[in-house]
Amino acid sequence: MSAIWGKTAVVGAYEHPTRFAPEKTAYQLHAESARGALEDAGLTISDVDGLFTSGVGPIGIMSLANHLNLRPCYLDSQAIGGSSFVSHCLHAAAALAAGLCSVALVTYGSTAASERFAIGTGGGFLMDPPDAFEAPFGPTIVGSYALVAQRHMHDYGTTSEQLAEIAVTMRKHAGLNPHAKYREPITVEDVLASRVISSPLHLLDCCVISDGGGALVLASLERARDLRGPPVVILGGAEAVRHSEAGGRDLLDVAASQSGPLALARAGVRHADVDLCAVYDSYTITVLTTLEGLGFCRPGEGGAFAGGGRIALGGALPVNPDGGGLSSNHPGMRGIFLVIEATRQLHGECGPRQVKDAEIALVHGTGGMLGQRHSGVTLVLGRA
């Protein structure tokens, strides 16, 4: 019997409806999201004794505690890119199971769009040793993912049309989400006709830039049973990182290939048991390589696997029913929205975009730069 898996649950989830909030600060979005998630759980801010966040600056978690006037006994500001918030849930499960805290609050807020922050196409950073050998050559974030896409096309014959179909599917889903930033249907031809940002990735292969916020509340399953909503149980999880190694990195070896199988094994869940996936879709290639890495198909088969409606609502493996980062929202780090959507799907409260009879959801966050350094965090969630 595991000490962690199946012992803790998401008990509250809230996605801030805003996509553009020029009057608000990120901290206000954190606070408004926290209120929403605590209301959803039937808990109050004074119940919170574990605080998890990222994207607030190196020691910003103390500012967030200040802003919420919290005195938590457990703090975690894991910073591994957009997947950080998925990682927070994994760490919260361990902390809750170990009794290090009893109510964990995970929050996120960002005003990337109203600050006109060029997330994907800004300059390279120059902070850490590996950066000195990369940033001088101008890797954008899009470019880093594009290096992987180009290699995938070379090795496996993956096409721009196959990548485009992923964007088309996400947009179709977004049409069912009243809060999504872009809801008008698009076609494969639209994606291919959009301008190339970094070959082979077009504008519509890239996630949107929005403002936004979200929050999650986690507690032990024991405590969850006394709370308002049906708990969503954390059945298993794992994280991983990939980087340039000592100069020998295989670009097509993604972190999901380590975290995915480990998380599924820990959960005792098989691929065939998974009813839906919430997968980080910073770019279309991210979805394709993640599905391969997680083991839903073999390496090289991702293009064909993601086509033909298989990852659309009504297909064998619906991915991102909310429209994902490609169409709904992407304020810079959208990992928290993956867990929120998976939770709401398992509650069966998603209306027209509901995956029928969803019992098991797999969440996978990708953070960082796929072709340089990236993280992968997998969570397996289930109905209690």
Partner 1 sequence: MADAKSYRKPLPRIDEESRGYWEALARHELYFQRCRDCGTKRFYPRALCPACLSAGTEWVRASGRGSVYSFTVTYQNQAPGFREELPYVLAIVELAEGPRLMTNIVGCPPEQVRIGLPVEVVFDDVTPEVTLAKFRPA
93 interacts with partner 1 by CB under 8 A: no
Q: Of 248, 272, 298, 357, which lies in the binding site for partner 1, with binding defined by CB under 8 A? A: 248
Residue 202 phi, psi (nearest 5): -90, 170
Q: Nearest distance from residue 202's CB to partner 1, in Å?
A: 10
Alpha helices, DSSP H, located in 107-185: 141-156, 160-174
6 interacts with partner 1 by CB under 8 A: no
Q: Nearest distance from residue 23's CB to partner 1, in Å?
A: 25
Q: Of 139, 302, 324, 365, which lies in the binding site for partner 1, with binding defined by CB under 8 A? A: 139
First-to-last C-alpha distance (Å) of the chain: 17
Three-state DSSP at 161 gives helix
Tell me the three-class secondary structure of 64-103, residue by residue: HHHHCCCCCCEEECCCECECHHHHHHHHHHHHHHCCCCCE
Q: Which two tokens stand for residue 207?
A: 């996630």
Piece of the chain touching partner 1 by CB under 8 A; list 144-152, 159-167, 225-233, 303-311: 144-152
Give whichever of 22 and 138 is closer to partner 1, judged by the CB atom: 138
122 interacts with partner 1 by CB under 8 A: yes
Lay out the site mask for partner 1 across 99-118 (x = CB under 8 A, - = otherwise).
-------------------x
* CA separation for the pair 204, 188 (Å, rounded): 10
135 interacts with partner 1 by CB under 8 A: yes
Total number of residues binding partner 1 (CB under 8 A)?
43
Q: Of 12, 143, 323, 376, which lies in the binding site for partner 1, with binding defined by CB under 8 A? A: 143
Q: Of 9, 148, 208, 233, which lies in the binding site for partner 1, with binding defined by CB under 8 A? A: 148
184 interacts with partner 1 by CB under 8 A: no
* CA separation for the pair 262, 265 (Å, rounded): 5
Piece of the chain touching partner 1 by CB under 8 A; list 7-15, 88-96, 131-139, 261-269: 131-139
101, 131, 197, 250 from 184: Cα distances, Å? 44, 39, 21, 37
Piece of the chain touching partner 1 by CB under 8 A; list 51-59, 192-200, 286-294, 344-352: 192-200
Three-state DSSP at 340 gives helix
DSSP conformational letter for 381? E
60, 71, 138, 312 from 367: Cα distances, Å? 19, 29, 19, 24
Q: Nearest distance from residue 254's CB to partner 1, in Å?
A: 14
Q: Nearest distance from residue 370's CB to partner 1, in Å?
A: 11
Q: Which two tokens stand for residue 340?
A: 């929120």
Where on the chain is the footprint of partner 1 (CB under 8 A)? 118, 121-124, 126, 129-140, 142-143, 146-151, 154, 195-201, 244-249, 251, 371-372
